Structure 1
Amino acid sequence: MSTSPAPRKPYLLAAAVLAGPLAGVVWHLADTVGLPRSEAADYLAQVAADRQGYALGTVFYMAFVGSYIPSGLAVMRVLRDRAPLAGTISGLLLALAGVLGLIVSGMRPVVLGLAPEGGAVAEAAAAYERYQDSAWFGGVMLPMLASVVIGLVVQIAVILRTGVLPRWTAPLLLAGFVLSSGEFSAAVTVLGVLVQLAGTVPLAAKLLAEPEARSVALA
C-alpha cells in the first residue's frame, strides 16, 4: 500500500500576495517624501527632514515591490489550467518586476546617506543626479516598469477572457495600479493601493480554494 499526497494549500503564498499591498499602504503612510519627482536638491532635503520616515518607508517599499515575486508565482499557479501560456508570461513578468524592484530599492539607503543633516549640499545633489542619469538606472527602472505593465495587462486580459477570477477584479487591478503610481496626492495613492488590495483578494482566495492535501491509498 502506498500513498500519493495532493498538493498542500499555499497559505504562505496567499499571505505574501496580500501582504504586498498592505506593505504599500504602510509605505505611503510612513514615508512623507514619496517618489523622486522633484529636483535632486529638493528631494534630498525632504529626505533629510524626515530621515526616520524615509528609513521605515524603505523597509515597507522593499516588501511592496518584492511582493510581485510571489504574486507572479500565484498568477502562474491560478492560470495554469485555463491559460497556461498567458499565465506563465504574466507570472514571469510580474516576478521579474519584483526582482528588479528590489534592485532599485537598494538605492534608497544610499539616498539616505547622501542627504546630510540640515539639508542637501551641492555635492550630494550632483551625485544623486549622476545616478539618475546613469545607464544603469535606466537599464533597471525601464525594464521593471515594462515588466509590471505588460504582466498586469496580460493578467487582466486572461481574467476578462476566461473568468478564471471574478471579472470585476480586472478594473480594480487596473485602477489600483494607476492610482497608486505616485502621480497623485498621498491620499489618492493610498486609496489606489487599497483598490489594488481589493482586486488581489480573489487571487489569494483562488489559491486557497485548491483541494486539501490528503493521502490516497493504492492497492
Structure 2
Amino acid sequence: MASRAPTKHRRSNDPEGVRRRVVDAAYAAFSTQGYHATSVHDLKREAGATGGALAHHFATKKELGLAVIRDRVAAAVEETWIRPVLAASTASEGIQAVFAGIIAELEGQGAVSGCPLNNLAIELARHDDDFRVSIDTVFVRWREAIADKLKADLSAGAVFDLDPEAFAVLVVASYSGAMAMAKAQQSAEPLRVCAEQLARVMCKRSPAVGL
C-alpha cells in the first residue's frame, strides 16, 4: 500500500492524465461488462483515481458515459472502420480488409466481447434520449462515410446498381448483427460469412459490362 502513495500524488498533479485514465477504464468496462453493471467504485479502482478527482471531471456517471461514446467509441469506429474504408482503393476492398482484420483480431484473442457501439446501443439507447442521440451520431457518421466511398466508386465505374445510402446501412447492419452473433457463439464465423456475402454483392456488374 505504501508504494501506491507516490503514484496517487503524481496523478493528482496530472488532471488530464486522470481524465484519460477514467475514460479509458470506463470504455473498457462499459464495452464489456456493461454500463449499468459497472459501478463508480469499479471505475475509481481501475483508473487509480479518487472520488474527488473523478467528480472534478464528471459530475455524474451519465456524463462519463457520454464522454466514452464521444471520445472513445466514436474514435474506435473512425480508426477501425471509417479511415480504412476511405483510404482503400474501393469500398469493397476497404470493407473486406476491415472484416479480415477484425476476424484475425478476434481469433487471436480467443474471445468475442462484441461491438462496443452495438453493446451500448442495445443497453442504453431505448431508455435515455441523450445516449440515443450520441450513439446514433456515431452510426450516422459511419454510414455516411461508407456511402461517400460508394458514391465515388459509382462515379469511377467500380460498382454498379447500388444505392450508396441503402448499401451503407446494409454494411453496418451486417457487421453489427454478425458481431452480436459472434458474441453469442464465441466465434468469428458469422463475420466471415457476412464478409463473403457482401463481397459477392459488390462484385456484381451491370449486365451491359462485357458486351
TM-score, normalised to structure 2's length? 0.29
Bigger relative CO (Cα 8 Å, ≥ 6 apart): 1
**What's the TM-score, normalizing by structure 1?**
0.28
